[in-house]
Amino acid sequence: MTAKPNSLTSKVHNLQVPELLAPAGNWECAKAAVENGADAIYFGLDKFNARMRAENFTEVDLPELMEFLHLRGVKGYVTLNTLVFPQELKDAQQYIRSIISAGVDAVIVQDVGICRLIRHISPDFPIHASTQMTITSAVGVEFAKELGCNLVVLARECSIKEINKIQQQISVENSHQKSLPLEVFVHGALCVAYSGQCLTSEALGGRSANRGECAQACRMPYDLISDGEIVNLGDRKYLLSPQDLAGLEVIPELVKSGVSCLKIEGRLKASEYVANVTRVYRQALDNVIKDIPDIPENQQKTLIKKGNQEHYNLEMAFSRGLYTGWFEGINNQELVHARFGKKRGVYLGEVKQVGREEITIRLEAPVKAGDGVVFDCGHPERKEEGGRVYGVLRKGKDTILRFGKRDLNLRKIHIGDRIWKTSDPELDKQVRQSFASEKPQFQRPIFVELYGELNENLVAIARDEIGHVVQVKSSITLVEARNKPLSTERLQEQFGRLGNTPFCLGELKNHLEGELMLPVSELNKMRREIVARLEELRTQPKLWKINENASLSDLLPVKDSLILPSPQLIVLVRNLKQLEATLKAGIETIYCEFEDPRKYKQAVQIVRQSSHLQFSNYSSPNPSPQIWVAPPRITKPAENWILQQVRSSNADGYLIRSYDHLRYFAGENCIGDFSLNVANALTADYFKNRFGLERLTASYDLNINQLEDLLKSAPSQWFEVTIHQHMPMFHMEHCVFCAFLSEGIDFRDCGRPCEKHQVKLRDRVGTEHILQADAGCRNTVFNGTAQTGAEYVEHLIKLGLQNFRVECVNETPEQVTQTIHLYQQLLEGYITGSQLWRELRLQSQLGVTRGTVVS
């Protein structure tokens, strides 16, 4: 497969061709990506990467892997995209030095502290802000830039309209300097939750997605319970499992948006998947670039219709259904079909008749002997019937599929069952052939200029597409041609013989003066020398600057030995009745997180009136309570109106949950919430001292040992810890209320069922998880079982921790009062953590687990 001359660096009508970035979980996947046209690959090592279940590479592999990639004109990016705990920072420091020394092209990072450490070690090594950093706005891009990042991978939830708005805003903000390039995912599995904000695996099994151990709870079935009753959704059970992303048809719009990179998801996928999907997008991207000037704007789509070869290839590679995701805006009826959460493939049709070892269907896609199929009876959680097709017989408009004896249990196949093609051995063979050979299949262009005149040497200047230049001279001089002079066509033929090399001939310019001749053997020798010298240049490791004296200790904050006051209990409430109960319980610091921020004014009023009454009551020992309010966790480009509503409440302070909030509430009293993912002292120091936050909520990914390490590595008064909560598991753009309790596609036509119904999601073990919406129509699924860290409170107090948080979700005022009372007794030393645990266990209406602090 030969690259087109303009495949990487050319511009069409001022449009920069985006880089095509493919996943590689192992060596075979890396080769599959290279041979099918990837401009770059991304891969993990055996630590600190968000796909720990992949085979991955090691530090020892890096020099050889980078030499292979660079020889082929492909970049290599290492994923260091997990949170890093305090005791791991030294290992991370060594990892970073190894990565930089190996000539890796960039590292993809989630952890703010790790970004700081990389930039401290090297002033020029490229850092890509991972999608795990949850960047959804121009403010987020600017945050990444100030942190030292060189590129931002936007959240998958950004539409093309929002991408264009972000591009416009960052261009205005950086009018005098270059703005950061943006990367977007274009194909692959869609996480239903915002990357970096999913705590489901952590909550349910202690396997954090922020640590590369996602257990894919979003792909499981759930019952929808509305106001205490199960909603009959028929065969729709997979309420949180989106279709797979396929951005093929919107590539023209993505190119015009100016994004610098299109990224394919799939480091856990096989090499055939990588080869198949990479080739489809390579060809589509090249065709779009070629065709954009000639196609009317309203028709600029690489149409991906059911039945065409590209769509077929992508479905056979891996498919839970293909959809454009959020690129074209929110459509809650399309994003999640909810009928299955696992790979299907190509839809063949429905069963019309069941015979002896044969099934009659009305065919909707091609099928042939040898293909594998599965029969879908609407219960994907059960073992499904399937097997290889032995024969295909056309009978009018129907098709009869024949199977081997005893391959199928025909009693489990029914009329109306859907049939999916899950395997196409012929396609698999074609795909494997694309990367099985030792001979390069995908060649990148070189551009040659030839100069010479009579009795002088022939001079060839060759350039590759990434800027390497070599000059080669013939060892003998040019002579006058008696026949067959060195025409442009002859020169193209000789210099184009690059079959076993990484190169193909792009443009050749002939500047020879007169009709001249040189032996073919000399031309071949020059061609071979050009190839050898370009290969040598390309395989030289990149030399990034490294500060040999830079040390992790340079960035660590200084621990002090302040004498701290008594510990305080902070309570977060989610409605006004909970707020009133919390005030009556004498809580001095209250956080409010309401679905409707307009109600914050009333909440502030209630607290201020309570404060006035306390002030009038001279016998009251409590100081005036403070109220802090929380904006929604995510802010999109057009949503500042929500932040305006939050600030108009004139609360005592604000919970900071994203990079947008850091800027919008600058100068106010601010506390960093858990969603900032503060997991180590480097991150804590950045948020505390760079942005002046009063304190920080420790990441919910930390267990007791890691919390202890955090408190020992930074001043303990910087932090608060949530010791009782219903873990916020999924935080997502997908609105379950809209998708399954309305026929609308978004907030404009859904009828706002979130305001009318109390909804829960019941999982396979019977736990009912609480569903709530926010002002931006984003949904959060809270764990139906509360968790407590009560048994570790005494130890945390000894470590200097002063601020302990209790979070309410849907508790009644009586339950709120009861819970607060127990934790007050705990902090005052009247009961132990074990006693509190037993008391909460007795309150069966609450339910409680020791949760993630223990694990």
Quote the radius of gyration of the chain (alpha carbons, Å).
Answer: 31
Mean pLDDT of the chain: 91
- Going by pLDDT thresholds of 50, 70 and 90, the confidence category of residue 406 is confident
- Continuous segment of H or E residues that includes residue 75: strand 75-80
Q: Band of the pLDDT at 853, cuts 50, 70, 90?
A: low
pLDDT of residue 270: 94
CATH number of 339-436: 1.10.286, 1.10.10, 1.10.357, 2.40.30?
Answer: 2.40.30
Report residue 613: phi and psi, to 5°: -65, -40
If you average pLDDT over residues 150-163, what whole number do you get? 97
Residue 11: which pLDDT band, with cuts at 50, 70 and 90? very low
Instruction: Provide the β-strand partners of residue 418.
Output: 350, 376
Region 582-594 average pLDDT = 97
Which helix H or strand E contains 563, and what residues bound it? none
> Residue 5's pLDDT is what?
44
Give the residue-averaged pLDDT of 1-5. Answer: 55
Using the structure block, give the residue that is written with the tokens 């052939």.
433
Q: What is the mean pLDDT of residues 362-377?
A: 94
Contacts 24+ apart (CB under 8 A), 752-757: 754/595, 757/226, 757/227
Tokens of 595: 């679905």
| Mean pLDDT, rounded, for 605-625 | 70
For the chain, which residues make up each domain, given as ranges? 11-204+242-327, 339-436, 444-539, 566-727+784-853, 729-782
Determine how many CB atoms are found less than 10 A away from the CB of residue 536: 12
Compute the distance between CA of residue 634 and CA of residue 675 in angstroms, rounded to an integer.
10
* Whole-number pLDDT of residue 854: 56
* Mean pLDDT, residues 606-629: 73
pLDDT(400) > 90:
yes
Is the pLDDT at 338 greater than 80, yes or no? yes
Percent of the chain with pLDDT over 70: 92
**Cβ within 8 Å of residue 476, ≥6 positions away:** 457, 518, 519, 522
The Cα–Cα gap between 144 and 127 comes to 9
H-type alpha helices, 714-778: 736-741
Alpha helix segments (H runs only) across 540-651: 576-584, 600-616, 640-647
| Out of 294-298, 472-476, 593-597, least confident range | 294-298
Residue 417 has pLDDT above 50, yes or no: yes
Helix (H) or strand (E) holding 717: none
Distance of CA 523 to the CA centre of its chain: 50
Look at 15 and 384; give whichever has higher pLDDT: 384
pLDDT at 291 over 60: yes
CA dist 494 to 465, 476, 488, 517, Å?
A: 20, 17, 10, 13
Query: Which of 75, 123, 117 has its CA nearest to residue 96?
Result: 117
**CA dist., res. 2 & res. 19, Å (int):** 17
Report whether pLDDT(509) > 60.
yes
Q: Range with the lowest mean pLDDT among 66-70, 272-276, 380-384?
A: 380-384
- pLDDT band (50, 70, 90) for residue 622: low
Under CATH, to which class is 566-727+784-853 assigned?
A: alpha beta
Q: pLDDT digits over 221-239, tens only? A: 999 999 999 999 999 999 9
Contact status, residue 87 vs residue 47, Cβ threshold 8 Å: no
pLDDT at residue 7 above 50?
no
| Least confident stretch, 11-25, 38-52, 411-425 | 11-25
640 Cβ contact list (under 8 Å, min separation 6) = 664
Contact 678, 699 (CB under 8 A): yes
Output DSSP code: residue 159.
-
**pLDDT at position 10 over 50:** no
Class of domain 11-204+242-327: alpha beta
Residue 541, pLDDT above cutoff 50: yes
pLDDT at 809: 96
| Helix H or strand E segment including 814 | helix 813-828
User: Cβ distance 445 to 434 under 8 Å?
Assistant: no
Q: Report pLDDT for 27.
A: 96
pLDDT surpassing 50 at residue 846: no
Pairing of strands 75-80, 106-109: parallel
Alpha carbon distance 447, 451 (integer Å) = 14
**Residue 659, φ and ψ in degrees, nearest 5:** -65, -30
In 3D space, the residue among 227, 237, 236, 261 whose CA is nearest the CA of residue 126 turns out to be 261
Residue 837: pLDDT band (50, 70, 90) is confident
Q: How far is CA 682 from the centre of its chain?
A: 23
Tokens 């890691």, located at residue: 706
Tell me, what's the pLDDT at 293? 57
**Left (φ > 0), alpha (ψ -120 to 50) or beta: where does 172 sit?**
alpha
DSSP collapsed to 3 states, 347-378 = EEEEEEEECCCEEEECCCCCCCCCCEEEEECC
In this structure, are strands 151-153 and 127-129 parallel, antiparallel, or unpaired?
A: parallel
Give yes or no on whether 11-204+242-327 and 566-727+784-853 have one common fold. yes
Q: How confident is the model at residue 840, as a pLDDT?
A: 84
Question: In this structure, what DSSP letter does residue 573 have?
Answer: E
Q: Measure the CA–CA gap between 102 and 61, rounded to whole angstroms.
A: 9
pLDDT at 55: 77
Q: Using CB atoms within 10 Å of the CB of residue 117, give its burial: 0 to 12 exposed, 13 to 18 middle, 19+ buried.
A: buried
47 phi and psi angles, rounded to 5 deg: -140, 160
- Give, in degrees to the nearest 5, the angle at Cα 775 between 670 and 257: 90
Instruction: Find the length of the chain.
Output: 855
Which stretch of 51-60, 548-557, 723-732 has the lowest confidence by average pLDDT? 51-60
Give per-residue pLDDT as tens, 802-832.
Answer: 999 999 999 999 999 999 999 999 999 999 9
- The gap between the terminal CA atoms of the chain, to the nearest Å, is 50
For the segment 787-802, what is each residue's pLDDT rounded down to a tens digit? 999 999 999 999 999 9
